[in-house]
Structure 1
C-alpha cells in the first residue's frame, strides 16, 4: 500500500489511491487563542460552531453549536439562495456571541468543512466537482465554494473570513493532534471511510497539479458503514438464487438496493438470544424472509461476521500502510504514534472495533504495536474545522 500511496503522490491517476492534497500545512498544537467559528456542511442539515480557545493551559474553554435544517427547495434552487441561507444562519449565530469574545481589531475566522467532491487549489479555495446526496444546484458546479460563501457573508454584512476549507478526515487529524501531539493519522470509519496524515512536501511531486477526478472508490466501499449492509444483502440474494435455503420466498425486497443497513447487520451480529430472535425479526421485517431455522439464522450471523471482519481488517491494513509510509510503527520505533479515529462504525460497532485493533497488532507485530495507539476522536468535522482555522489564523 505504501507503494501505491507514493505513486498517487507522484502524479494524478498514477495510483488507485487518490492521495488528494489538503493544503493544510499547519496543525493546531494547543497554543492557539481567540474565538473561532466552524461551518460543517455535508447533508440536509448543517452545523455552525463557536469555539473559544485559551492557549495551552486551558485549551477549549467554551464550545457552542447550532444545527440548521436546509429547506428542501434550496437544495435544487441556485447557489446564491443556498449560500445566502447559510450566511443568514451564521449571522444569527454570531449575533449572540457575547462581549469580549474577540481580541480587538480581529476579523472573525471560519473553518469550512464541505463534504462534497471538490477540486481544492489552496487552503482557502476549492471548486465544486459535483453535488451528491439530495443536492442538485447546477450553477454551483465548477464554482469556488469558499468564494460563494464569502460573497454571501459579505451581503449579510458579516465580518468573517474563511481561513480553511477542509473535509471531516482532515478535521479529525486536527482535533486529535490538538490534544495529543503524537497523533499522526486521522481516520473516518462511519457512513464513509477515509484517512488523512501529514506528509512532507518534498514527497509530493504532483503538488502543483490538479486534483484527480473521482474514481470508483472500491476500497472505501468494502470498508464503509454505508455499504456493509448492502454487501450482506447481495450475499443473501446470491445464496437465495443458488439454493433453497430460504424456501420459496418473494425476492422483491431482497433485490432492493440498500434495504439492509449497517445498523441492521450490527443488531443481528450482536444477537445474544438463544433462538437468534433478533435475526429472525430483521430478516422478516427488512427482507420478508420468514420461517427460518436456527441453523439458517446462524448462517446469517456468520455472513455478518465475515463481512464486518473483512471491513475491519482492510481498514487496519490501510492504517498500517499510512504508518509505514511515514516511517512509524516499525520494530524498534521509539516514537509514540496515535491514530485518531472518528465515525459511528468504529465507535458503535463493537466487533468491528475489536477486529480492527487486533488486526493492527497482528500486522504491526507485538513489539511495534506497543508504540501505536488508537484513539476515538469525536467531531472532527466541527471542532477540527475551528481548530484548523485557528492554526491558519492571519493574526
Structure 2
C-alpha cells in the first residue's frame, strides 16, 4: 500500500471513529435526557403516594376536623353547615312535586309523580339556558324569567287535576348560601359569571316566591338544598341505610346524617327525628397528611382562590387534568422528548379532566388516543411510544391519588358517626342484636368522576375496602346515584310538604 492509500485508510478510520464518537455521544445525551424525564415522573409519583397508613391518617384528620367544625363556628376549615333537613324521604311519599335547579348558565325544571312504595311513576325534565344579560341585571328580572319558565313547564307537563296536587317545589341553588331554615337562605356571593348586585345578602327563596306570585303561580318552596343533600335524599328514598352522600364531579362536596346533640355550636338544637343533615363543604378540608406536591402548590398559587379548597384541588374534576398538564410541562422542559416546547403547555386548564381520562383509559396497542389528544389539545406532535406510556403513568398517579383521598374522606365520615368499625365490629352493631352483626351502611355517590370514569371508581372502591379491612368492608356499600340536584330536591319537597310548623328549632 502506498503512502496515499495508507493516508486515505487512516483518514477513513479517523472519520469513522469521529462519527462513532458523535453517535455514541448523541445516544448518551439522549439517554440522559430520557432519564431526566423518567426521574421527574418518579419523583412526582413518590410525592403523591397514598399508602394505607397515610390514608388512615387522613381519615383521622377528617374526623377531627368534623368534630371541630361542629363544636364552633370557624373552628375548622370544614364549615359543617346546618341544612335544617332533619327527616329524609323514605319511599312512602306520593303525589306530584316539582324541582328547580339553578347553578350555572343553564337551569333545569323537573316534575316527578310519586306512587309510594319507593316508586317514581313519572319524570319530566326540561333544561333551559339563562340569557346572559339576566346574569347581571336585577333579581326581579332574573327570578321573573325563572318563574315564567316554570309556569310554562307546569302548564305543558300536567293537566289541571295533577297541578292541583303539585304545589310543592324543591329548590337547588348552587351558589354560596347561608341557610337559615329548611326553606330559606341568604346569598353570600355570586360565582360562575353571575353578578346581580341587589341579590347579595337577600333570601333567595323569598325572591323566588315573590316571582311565582307575580306570575300567578300558586306554588310553595318547601325545601332549599344543595347537590349533596339532594343526593342523600335520593339514596335514602331507595335505601333507608343511606347515611351519607358524596358528590365528586367538576367540584366536590359531602353531607351526612348527624345526631342533633352532636352539633355543639347550636346548643339546644331540637329536631323531631333527633338527627340533622350536615353539609360539610368538604372541598375546603386540609391536613398536613395530604400528599401535596410542587405541582399542587403551583396550581393553588395560580388559582383565583389560593389557600382555599385544598382538598377539592387534589380530588375533583376541575383540577386533575391541569395537574397532569403541569407534569407534562415539566417533562418537556427537562428534555426534548416531546420536541419543541409547546406554548399550550403553559396554558392553565388546557388539558381537561375528561381528556386526561381518555388518555388514561386508552387501550389501543400503540396508545393512538394519547397521541391524538397530545397533538390536538397540547400541540405536541410525533410523541414516541415510550413517552406516551409515561404520560399514561402520570394520568394514573393523579387519578389514583385523587380516588384514594376521596375514599379516605368517606371513611373519615364513617369514623365520625361510628360506622368504620375502629372500635371493633361491635362498635357498629345493630341495636338490640347481641350476635355482633354489623350495621349495613350505605353511602350515595354522584358526579361524573365516579359515574363515568371507570378507573377512578375502581380505585376509590378498592381504597375504601383497603382502609376498612376485610372484616368491616362488606358492610359498607357505595351506591351510584343520579340527579340528586333534581330528583333529590323534589323528594325533599315531598317529604317536608306536610309540615304545618317548623320541626327544627335552635334554642
Q: TM-score, normalising length from structure 2? A: 0.74
* Partner residue, 2:148: 88
In the alignment, the residues of structure 2 paired with residue 270 and residue 298 of structure 1 have an alpha-carbon distance, to the nearest angstrom, of 12
Alpha-carbon deviation of 1:295? 1.2
* 2:124 aligned residue (64, 67, 76): 64
Distance 1:107 1:371, change over 3 A: closer
In the alignment, the residues of structure 1 paired with residue 331 and residue 233 of structure 2 have an alpha-carbon distance, to the nearest angstrom, of 44
Alpha-carbon deviation of 1:102? 5.4
Alpha-carbon deviation of 1:206? 2.0
* 2:161 aligned residue (100, 122, 129): 100
In the alignment, the residues of structure 1 paired with residue 220 and residue 264 of structure 2 have an alpha-carbon distance, to the nearest angstrom, of 30
Alpha-carbon deviation of 1:35? 1.4
In the alignment, the residues of structure 2 paired with residue 217 and residue 142 of structure 1 have an alpha-carbon distance, to the nearest angstrom, of 22
* Partner residue, 2:450: 346
C-alpha distance after superposition, 1:13-39 (max 9, x if no partner): 211222222111110001112211100
In the alignment, the residues of structure 1 paired with residue 403 and residue 150 of structure 2 have an alpha-carbon distance, to the nearest angstrom, of 38
In the alignment, the residues of structure 1 paired with residue 317 and residue 495 of structure 2 have an alpha-carbon distance, to the nearest angstrom, of 31
* Partner residue, 2:356: 265
* Partner residue, 1:364: 468
* Partner residue, 2:376: 285
Alpha-carbon deviation of 1:212? 11
* Partner residue, 1:26: 87
* Partner residue, 1:193: 252
Q: Whose helix fraction is larger, Structure 1's or Structure 2's?
A: 2
Q: What's the secondary structure of 1:31's corresponding residue?
A: coil
Gaps of 5+ in 2: 1-61, 270-278, 285-307, 429-437, 500-507
Q: What's the secondary structure of 2:243's corresponding residue?
A: strand
Q: What's the secondary structure of 1:143's corresponding residue?
A: coil
* 1:126 aligned residue (171, 185, 192): 185
Alpha-carbon deviation of 1:84? 0.5
Alpha-carbon deviation of 1:107? 7.2
* Partner residue, 1:79: 139
Q: What's the secondary structure of 1:199's corresponding residue?
A: strand
* Partner residue, 1:335: 439
In the alignment, the residues of structure 1 paired with residue 465 and residue 256 of structure 2 have an alpha-carbon distance, to the nearest angstrom, of 20
Asked if the contact 2:97–2:166 (Cα under 8 Å) also holds between the matched residues in 1, the reply is no
In the alignment, the residues of structure 1 paired with residue 241 and residue 166 of structure 2 have an alpha-carbon distance, to the nearest angstrom, of 31
Indicate the RMSD between aligned Cα atoms, in angstroms: 1.9
Alpha-carbon deviation of 1:310? 0.4
In the alignment, the residues of structure 1 paired with residue 82 and residue 325 of structure 2 have an alpha-carbon distance, to the nearest angstrom, of 35
C-alpha distance after superposition, 1:69-99 (max 9, x if no partner): 1111111111111111000001111113114
* Partner residue, 2:495: 391
Q: What's the secondary structure of 2:81's corresponding residue?
A: coil
Alpha-carbon deviation of 1:345? 0.8
Asked if the contact 2:253–2:280 (Cα under 8 Å) also holds between the matched residues in 1, the reply is no
Alpha-carbon deviation of 1:267? 0.8
* Partner residue, 1:226: 318
- 2:353 counterpart of 1:297: no
Q: TM-score, normalising length from structure 1? A: 0.95
Compare CA radii of gyration and give the structure with the larger one. 2
* Partner residue, 2:272: none
Q: What's the secondary structure of 2:264's corresponding residue?
A: coil
* Partner residue, 1:45: 106
Alpha-carbon deviation of 1:231? 1.1
